[in-house]
Copies of this chain bind each other. A is one copy, B any other.
């Protein structure tokens, strides 16, 4: 059956020194409940994306903590984890629960508090946590990490398709500009292309301006049936979930067939579009996983918006900028809005809900009717794609 988003809320992303993870959870959860106007007793389950709470915050089982903190301990709770895709997987599980008829109203939340004092959680432990999202035995334990892996992919893409250093930097420049328009973003200052190109390289070809941020943040949405959605949203601001896809790919980079395409994304997108029954051309606005500048270029290709190898030129021509053919990462994306890992996938849904309700203010894509969100977890091992439609 049909599934609607009736409530959406996210905290500002950033270095939230004055907020515990519990405070972030209650702010996001209560915000979504208030936005939906739903009685919290009616929420039957909570699906939470969280990557690393048991290291960063000494706290596992975060979904049960949240139901208790939100006064809805009757709800069935579960935390899901799939590295940077955690918040997207949580949303998919919540969608499936309502679509299948198992529950009538659920909350999906994503949360991560990554900026924690070194005297509380020693640096080495934090690094172990951050590294644990790649294959530890074969790769992570030998020093490979997200930056070096995605740098390999980027170099190969440049070699195979002639993608340029400037095209990569233009992704970052655009997203930082978008972020400057987003009050929820961690970084609000635009950065010039020149500055990006001159910034120190951290893993060639990426400069320090082309990587995702280390962020704190929480986001929550409430999903329910069409009937209940119409009853709750008397303002008529309905957002419908029309497609959901979840793809898989190799977790171990060494055994991957391609370094320039992620089957996880390709398959998730195909699954979501098939369910939605619309075409790529119908999409008006996209949030996709720009963990590095290059990743956005690969993603818009894998999602099927442009041919393989054409992501660089498409970006250079300005089509992915606000006002362009296909605005991508109007929120500022992971490089400006921020990347609180478990939160990211759910935060994308919040941003797209704002877009489809005409609430995105300075970054509004006029009249957007169809929106797509995409996250990638592990170095391409998991991907989820969701397609949302402005409701009747």
Contact A137 B78 (CB under 8 A): no
A55 within 8 A of B: yes
Bound Cα distance from A18 to B99, whole angstroms: 44
Q: Does A140 belong to the interface (CB within 8 Å)?
A: yes
- Contact indicator B381/A251 (Cβ below 8 Å): no
B59 touches A51 (CB 8 A): no
Q: Is the interface of A mostly helix, strand, loop or mixed?
A: mixed
Q: Does A118 contact B (CB under 8 A)?
A: no
Given A78-B80, A255-B68, A54–B57 Cβ distance below 8 Å?
Answer: no
The answer to whether B79 touches A82, judged by C-beta atoms less than 8 angstroms apart, is: yes
Residues facing B in A213-259 (CB within 8 A) are 246-252, 255
- Interface positions, chain A 51-101, Cβ under 8 Å from B, are 51-55, 57-61, 63-65, 67-68, 72-83, 89, 93, 96-97, 99-101
Report yes or no: A82 in contact with B96, Cβ–Cβ below 8 A.
no
Q: Is A45 an interface residue (CB 8 A)?
A: yes
Please state the number of chain copies in the assembly: 2
Whether B81 lies near A81 (C-beta < 8 A) is: yes
Q: Given the known A-B contacts A93-B93, A100-B102, A381-B64, are A248 and B128 also in contact in the complex, defined by CB atoms under 8 Å? A: no
Closest CB in chain B relative to A94 CB, distance in Å: 11
Q: Mark A122-137, 1 if CB is under 8 A from B, else 0.
A: 0001001101111111
- Is A182 interfacial (CB-CB < 8 Å)? no
A133 touching B61, Cβ below 8 Å: yes
A60 & B83 in contact (Cβ 8 Å cutoff): yes
Known A67-B248, A74-B267, A102-B96: A137·B59 in contact at CB below 8 Å: yes
Point out the residue from B57, B68, B134, B382 that lies within 8 Å of A77, measured CB to CB. B382
Distance to closest chain B CB from A74 (angstroms): 5
A134 to B54, CA, bound (A): 11
Residues of B within 8 A of A96 (CB): 96-97, 100, 102
- For A246, the chain B residues whose CB sits under 8 A away are 45, 76, 78
Q: Is the pair B60, A51 in contact by a Cβ cutoff of 8 Å?
A: yes
Q: How far is the CA of A53 from the CA of B51 in the complex (A)?
A: 12
- Could you say which residues of chain B place their CB within 8 Å of the CB of A136? 57-59
Most central of A78, A249, A250 by chain B CB within 10 Å = A78
| Closest chain B residue, CB of each to CB of A381 | B64
In the assembly, what is the distance between CA of A231 and CA of B137, in Å? 38
Residue A327 lies at the interface, judged by CB distance under 8 Å to chain B: no
Residues of chain B lying within 8 A (CB to CB) of residue A382: 61, 63-64, 76-78
Chain B positions within 8 Å of A74 at CB level:
248-249, 263, 267
Query: Which of A60, A74, A128, A267 neighbours the largest number of chain B CB atoms within 10 Å of its CB?
Result: A60
Quick check: A60 and B137 within 8 Å, CB to CB?
Answer: no
- Residues A65 and B22 in contact, CB atoms below 8 Å apart: no
Query: Which residues 317-375 in A have Cβ within 8 Å of B in the complex?
Result: none
> Is A110 close to B, CB under 8 A?
no
Chain B min CB distance to A134 (Å):
8
**Additional A-B contacts beyond A54-B128, A78-B82 (4; CB < 8 A):** A20-B137, A22-B137, A59-B135, A64-B83
10 A-B pairs whose Cβ atoms sit less than 8 Å apart in the complex? A58-B132, A59-B132, A61-B251, A63-B82, A64-B83, A67-B251, A76-B246, A77-B381, A79-B80, A96-B96
Q: Which residues of A contact B (CB under 8 A)?
A: 20, 22, 45, 51-55, 57-61, 63-65, 67-68, 72-83, 89, 93, 96-97, 99-102, 125, 128-129, 131-137, 140-141, 246-252, 255, 263, 267, 377-378, 381-382
